[in-house]
Amino acid sequence: MGRWTFNNLALGSVEGLAYLSCIWRHRKVKNILTVSLLVAFLYFLLMLTTGAGRDEQIYARELGLKIRIIKWLPGGETERGDSNRRIFFHETSGRSDLGLRQTCTVESAAKNNPGRPIQVFMTAERLDYSSPWLEVLQNYPNVSIVLVDPRSYFAETPLDGWYTEGEWRKSMYSVVHLSDYIRVLTLLKGGGMYMDLDIITLKSLDEKLLRNFFLFETEEMKLLTNSVLHLERGHWLIEEMIQRLVKYYDPNEYMWHGPSMISNIMSRKCGVKRGQPNSNNCTDVRLLPHYKFAPISNNGWEILFGDATPDRLAQVTNGSYGVHCWSGKSKEEQLKVHSNQVYSVLAREHCPLTVAFGAADFLA
Ligand X SMILES: *[C@@H]1O[C@H](CO)[C@@H](O)[C@H](O)[C@H]1NC(C)=O
Only one of the segments 11-19, 97-105, 131-139, 314-322 lies at the binding site for ligand X (rule: CB under 6 A); that segment is 314-322
Distances (CA, A) of 363 to 131, 193, 325, 334, 337: 12, 26, 13, 7, 7
Instruction: Say whether residue 251 binds ligand X (CB under 6 A).
Output: no
- Residues 153-172 touching ligand X, rule: CB under 6 A, are none
Instruction: Say whether residue 315 binds ligand X (CB under 6 A).
Output: yes
Shortest Å, Cβ 117 to ligand X: 4
Nearest-CB residue for ligand X: 271
Shortest Å, Cβ 288 to ligand X: 13
Instruction: Say whether residue 138 binds ligand X (CB under 6 A).
Output: no
What HEC string does the chain produce?
CCCCCHHHHHCCHHHHHHHHHHHHHCHHHHHHHHHHHHHHHHHHHHHHHHCCCCCHHHHHHHCCCCCEEEECCCCCHHHCCCHHHCEEEEECCCCCCCCHHHHHHHHHHHHHCCCCCEEEEECCCCCCCCCCHHHHHCCCCCEEEEECCHHHHHCCCCCHHHHHHCHHHHCCCHHHHHHHHHHHHHHHHHCEEEECCCEEECCCCCCCCCCCEEEECCCCCCCEEEEEEEECCCCHHHHHHHHHHHHCCCCCCCCHHHHHHHHHHHHHHHCCECCEHHHCCCCCCEEECHHHCCCCCHHHHHHHHCECCHHHHHHHHCCCCEEECCHHHHCCCCEECCCCEHHHHHHHHHCHHHHHHHCCCEEC
| Nearer Cβ to ligand X (191/358) | 191
Q: Report the residue from 68, 90, 101, 116 that binds ligand X according to the rule CB under 6 A.
A: 116
Shortest Å, Cβ 181 to ligand X: 26
Q: Report the residue from 78, 87, 117, 148 that binds ligand X according to the rule CB under 6 A.
A: 117
Instruction: Say whether residue 209 binds ligand X (CB under 6 A).
Output: no
Shortest Å, Cβ 281 to ligand X: 4
Shortest Å, Cβ 270 to ligand X: 6
Instruction: Say whether residue 283 binds ligand X (CB under 6 A).
Output: no
Instruction: Say whether residue 300 binds ligand X (CB under 6 A).
Output: no
Is residue 145 within 8 Å of residue 70, measured between CB atoms? yes
- Residues 318-347 touching ligand X, rule: CB under 6 A, are 318-319
Instruction: Say whether residue 13 binds ligand X (CB under 6 A).
Output: no
| Nearer Cβ to ligand X (49/281) | 281
| Nearer Cβ to ligand X (275/319) | 319
Size of the site for ligand X (CB under 6 A): 12
Instruction: Say whether residue 174 binds ligand X (CB under 6 A).
Output: no
| Nearer Cβ to ligand X (54/233) | 233
Q: Chain centroid to CA 93: how far?
A: 10
Only one of the segments 88-96, 226-234, 236-244, 313-321 lies at the binding site for ligand X (rule: CB under 6 A); that segment is 313-321
Instruction: Say whether residue 290 binds ligand X (CB under 6 A).
Output: no
Shortest Å, Cβ 351 to ligand X: 18
Q: Report the residue from 141, 161, 251, 328 that binds ligand X according to the rule CB under 6 A.
A: 141
> Sign of the CA dihedral 136, 141, 143, 146?
positive
Q: Are strands 192-195 and 224-231 parallel, antiparallel or unpaired?
A: antiparallel
Q: Report the residue from 23, 255, 270, 313 that binds ligand X according to the rule CB under 6 A.
A: 270
Shortest Å, Cβ 97 to ligand X: 23
User: Which residues are near ligand X by CB under 6 A?
Assistant: 115-117, 141-142, 270-271, 281, 314-315, 318-319
